[in-house]
Structure 1
Amino acid sequence: MRTFVTSVGIATLTLAGCSKAPEEADPGPTLGNASTAGLAFTYAYNLTLPARAIDELQEAHAAACEALGPQRCRITGITYDVDRAGDVSASLSANVAAPLARRFGRDAVTAAERAGATLTGAHIGGTEAALEESAAAGQSVDAQTDLARIDRELARSDLPAAERTELQAQRAGRLADQRTAAAARSGARDSIVTAPVSFNYATGRGSGFANQLRDSGDTALNSAAATFGAAIWLVAALGPPFLALLVVILLWIYFARPLWRRLLAITARGDGTPYDPA
């Protein structure tokens, strides 16, 4: 009986530990996580919310990045555009320390949803940056080996001038290859340490039938406003010429045409011969 009770207690504790593990684990990629080590991640989130709230949310996300400090988060770009209909499209991009990037994006989306935004898309991708770094390191070693060989050849005193010129050109090319490999290696290492995080903001109310109806109403109002604005523009652009033409027509009807008839009556007789006042 005691053995049975002990076994049940151990099983209960094991199940309790398993049930708590997902809550305590951090799903974000970290440098120490074997499943994500050597990967360079990018994070992109699409958010839809009313136009008037976009600038405030964008500013809140920028402030959250600045609060982490320049060593862990640096803003790399901000855009904000308004079209003729009043719809806003904006974006915010930042480089975030890799261990914090996913949590930073998740917290930013949570804050956006509390502000009335809807997450309409999330894209997380990873590339094998460690392999790129390893390949660049191999290219650098190969270039260094060739440079050592070329330098030994150039050190010969009996080397013909044409061959020396050719070796010097090869040396310059291998130096360029070495610099390129060093830059690629540094870029791959940096992409593992930092992760680009971007937010794209668009005007709207998100998904769902009710929100789609509201968006359709907004579109109808914007279309009506655009049509009314176009009509006003036509009146403003074409009104003066039409008004001038109307004035000319009225002057002809009420003044010029009666005068013209009187002149015809004075200068012509009933039989059509010219009138001679003498």
Structure 2
Amino acid sequence: MSDAAPGIAVTAAPGVAFNYRYAFRLPAEKLAAAQETHAQACEKLGVARCRIIGMRYRVLGENSSEGTLLFKLDPALARAFGKQGIDAITASEGKLVDAEITGTDAGAEIAKQQGLRAQAAAELQRIDGEPKRSDLKSDERAELQNQRAAITDRIAAAKSNVGEQTDSLANTPMEFDYESGPAVQGFDGSAPITSAANVFVGSATVTIGFVLTLLAALAPPGIILLGGFLLWRRLRPRRRPVPQADTPA
């Protein structure tokens, strides 16, 4: 079964900001090392092309752990970096179990916000010319000041939105999620047998664990009751047999 993610070969379109997410499953003892390999691969690219913006590793129990690694990448390197990340997981006897690539039309949003900003700037220019009128009343002047403040806020919001969309085009987010466990079974003839064996072992483990827990909970009271019963039998007064009178012949 191939480890390549379906639809991973995404052609970057002008003005589209992509977001990558990959989920991996691999043996618990190799999860931390694989996560470190991905982190080092990012560090080798340099902070101008790849930055680690978040990392988490958590032990859930015996032979069970999970983790997350978050990156910001040069868009031109994102696709290749994702494929190299999958190869590292395969080398660690793991599998890619989920892949998601989403896109946002940042270019269209930038054009929209720039249009709104230009429109607001024109309104602002008109309002700034109103106070020069000699017949302007005080309440009208106050209303123009309120309108000017509202338009200024709109211009600032549009400018901030354009900055966010521009940043999304320059830095591609990528998320690696790690989960310990057996790799996805293939579709060969041994897969059903292996799966059934895994279910049997898991069921047997749960049953044995339940029995041991039950014995551990009941053993102390049982020992006390047994000891008390044996002590009672040892100390209880014994009945003497009643002699029977001889019957006349």
TM-score (norm 2): 0.75
Counterpart of 2:98 in structure 1 is 121
The more displaced of 58-67 and 86-95 is: 86-95
**Counterparts of 1:97 and 1:197 in 2: how far apart (Å)?**
10
Q: How has the CA–CA distance of structure 1 residues 141 and 244 changed in structure 2, closer, same or farther, with 3 Å as cutoff?
A: farther
Q: Percent of pairs identical after alignment? A: 36
Partner of 2:154: 177
SS in 2 for 1:57: helix
Name which of structure 1's ranges 116-125 and 233-242 shifts more when overlaid on structure 2.
233-242
Alignment match, 2:201:
221
- 2:69 counterpart residue number: 92
Mapped contact 1:92–1:200 kept (Cα < 8 A): yes
Which residue of structure 1 lines up, in the alignment, with residue 87 of structure 2? 110
Aligned equivalent of 1:206: 184
Give the counterpart letter for 2:92 in structure 1. Answer: A
CA-to-aligned-CA distance 1:194-227 (integer Å, 9 cap, x gap):
1112222232222314456445544543443344
Over aligned residue pairs, what C-alpha RMSD do you find?
A: 3.1
Residue 103 of structure 1: CA displacement?
A: 0.9
1:41 offset after TM fit, Å?
A: 1.1
The answer as to whether partners of 2:16 and 2:105 remain within 8 angstroms in 1 is: yes
Other structure's SS at 2:136 match? coil
Q: CA deviation at 1:127?
A: 2.0
Deviations 1:133-192 (A, max 9, x none): 111111222222222222223454543333333333322222222222112111111111
Q: Deviations over 1:95-126 (max 9, x none)?
A: 11101111111122123223322223332222
Structure 2 matches for 1:15-26, cutoff 5 A? none
Q: Which amino acid aligns with 1:153?
A: E
* 1:72 Cα offset (Å): 0.8
Q: What is residue 242 of structure 2 aligned with on the other side?
A: none
Distance between the aligned counterparts of 1:59 and 1:253, measured in 2? 67
Unmatched segments (≥5 aa) in structure 1: 1-26, 30-34, 262-278
Kept in 1, the 8 Å contact 2:29–2:63? The answer is no
Alignment partner of 1:57 out of 15, 29, 34: 34
Residue identity opposite 1:121 in structure 2: D
Q: TM-score, normalised by structure 1?
A: 0.68
Partner-residue secondary structure (3-state), 2:13: coil
**1:74: Cα distance to partner?**
1.1
Q: Which residue among 161, 167, 176 is the counterpart of 2:144?
A: 167
Deviation digits for residues 215-248 of structure 1 (CA, Å, limit 9, x no counterpart): 5544543443344344444444555455555566
Q: Name whichever structure is richer in helix by fraction.
A: 1
- C-alpha contact (below 8 Å) 1:93/1:198 kept by paired residues: yes
1:132 corresponds to: 109
> SS in structure 1 opposite 2:103?
strand
Pair 1:148-2:159 in alignment: no
User: Who wins on radius of gyration, i.e. which is larger?
Assistant: 1
Going from structure 1 to structure 2, the CA distance change for 1:230 and 1:168 (only over 3 Å counts) comes to: farther
Q: Flag the 1:217–1:142 CA change in 2: closer, same or farther, 3 A.
A: farther
Q: Which structure is higher in RCO with an 8 Å CA cutoff and minimum separation 6?
A: 2
Q: Secondary structure at the match of 1:71?
A: coil
Task: Assess if the C-alpha contact under 8 Å between 1:206 and 1:212 holds in 2.
Answer: no
Helix, strand or coil for the counterpart of 2:38? helix
Post-superposition offset of 1:93: 2.0
Residue 235 and residue 147 in structure 1: after superposition, are their counterparts in 2 closer, same or farther (change >3 A)? Answer: farther
Distance 2:154 2:67 in 1: 40
Letter in 1 for 2:183: R
